Structure 1
C-alpha cells in the first residue's frame, strides 16, 4: 500500500494507505486509515484514523466510519451508515471542561468478510458483525451478529439465516 495525502476543493486525504485500484469519489474526508485494493468510497464519506477497510469493499455515500472500526474484505456498506465508537459520549467533563481525546476510550467494532450493511443503519461500538451477515436498512445494531445471519429493526433482531440467499 502506498501512503497518500491529497488536499483540494474536492478531497481531503491525509496519511491514507491506499491499495491498488482504489476509487475515491469527491468530498471524502479520510485520515490515518487504510483502504484495500479495489475498494470504492462514495461521495461525502468520512473515514477516521485507525480505520481499516479491506479489499473489494463498497462504502456508499454519506457514511461515517469512526476510529476503531475494522472492515474486512468484500464488505458492502450502504448509504448513510453510521458507526459509533463511544458507549457513553459526553461533551464535557464533570468540571464543565470540554472533553478531549484523553477523556474517553475508543471501543472497537469489527465487520467480517462479505457482510452487508443496509442504508441508514447505525452500528454501536464493541460489536462484531459476522462473515456474510446482512444488516437491514435502518437497523440499530446493539450486539454481535452471527455469521450468515440477517438482522433488522431497532434494536436489530434475527430475521433469518442468510445461507440460502447468499452466493
Structure 2
C-alpha cells in the first residue's frame, strides 16, 4: 500500500489496526472518531484528528489517503462504509496481521480486520468489512457474508455459512455444515451443532436459543 491510511474510529479494534498497519510499514495519517473528548489526543504517537464525518479530513480519502473503518458497532460500521462508498467512491482497505495465514485459494473482500494468528483455509469466501479476532479459524469452504464478527479463538468449521452481520463470540465452535442466519448472535464458548435462524441469539453447549 503506497498511500497512508486514515483510521475511522479510535477505540476498540482501532489500536490493533494501527499495530497491523505499522507492522506492514503502512503510515497511519491519523484517527477520526465521533468522541469529541479525544480529539487532539494521540494514540501511540498518532493523532486523533477530528470527527469520523469531518469533510475536511474525509476529502483526503481516495486522493492522498486510503481508509480503514475500525468501529466495533456493526450499525455504525455499516454507516461509515456506506458513507465512504457513496461520498468518496472508494472501498476501505484490509488490515491483515503478518502472522495470519490465508490460503491462496481463499477469496476475501474489502475492509476486513484480520488479527494475529487467524487461519483462513482453502476455498473460504469472506465478504467485506468482517472482524476476525486473534486466533480465529475459518476452515475450508466456509462462507462469511459482509459485516460478520468472529471472536478470538473461535472455530468456524468446514462448509459453515454465516449470514450478514452475524456475531460469533470468543471461543465458539461451529460444527461443519451449519448455517448461521443474518444478524444472528452466538454467545462466547458455545458449541453450535444446528442451524441458527436470522436474528436469533443462541448460547451454550449445545447452543440453544435464548428467549427475549
- Confirm or deny a common fold (TM above 0.5): yes
Q: CA deviation at 1:151?
A: 0.1
Structure 1 residues 124-139: aligned runs within 5 Å: 124-139=175-190
Structure 1 residues 18-167: aligned runs within 5 Å: 21-31=93-103, 32-85=105-158, 108-161=159-212
Larger fraction in strand: 1
Alpha-carbon distance in structure 2 between the residues aligned to 1:109 and 1:156: 15
Alpha-carbon distance in structure 1 between the residues aligned to 2:211 and 2:115: 29
Q: CA deviation at 1:26?
A: 2.5
* Matched-pair contact (CA < 8 Å) for 1:22–1:35: no
Alpha-carbon distance in structure 1 between the residues aligned to 2:98 and 2:171: 20
Task: Decide which structure has the larger Cα Rg and report it.
Answer: 2
Task: Name the SS of the counterpart of 2:211 in structure 1.
Answer: strand
Alpha-carbon distance in structure 2 between the residues aligned to 1:160 and 1:132: 16
Alpha-carbon distance in structure 2 between the residues aligned to 1:114 and 1:160: 20
Relative contact order, higher structure (CA 8 A, sep 6+): 1
Q: CA deviation at 1:20?
A: 5.5
Task: Name the SS of the counterpart of 2:210 in structure 1.
Answer: strand
Alpha-carbon distance in structure 2 between the residues aligned to 1:73 and 1:56: 6
Runs of 4+ off more than 6 Å:
none
Alpha-carbon distance in structure 2 between the residues aligned to 1:84 and 1:48: 10
TM-score scaled to structure 2, two decimals?
0.56
Larger fraction in helix: 2
Root mean square deviation of aligned Cα: 1.6
Alpha-carbon distance in structure 1 between the residues aligned to 2:156 and 2:204: 16
Q: Which runs of 5+ in 1 are unaligned?
A: 1-9, 12-18, 86-107, 162-167
What count of residue pairs does the alignment treat as equivalent? 123
Q: CA deviation at 1:117?
A: 0.1
Alpha-carbon distance in structure 2 between the residues aligned to 1:46 and 1:136: 21
Task: Name the SS of the counterpart of 2:197 in structure 1.
Answer: coil
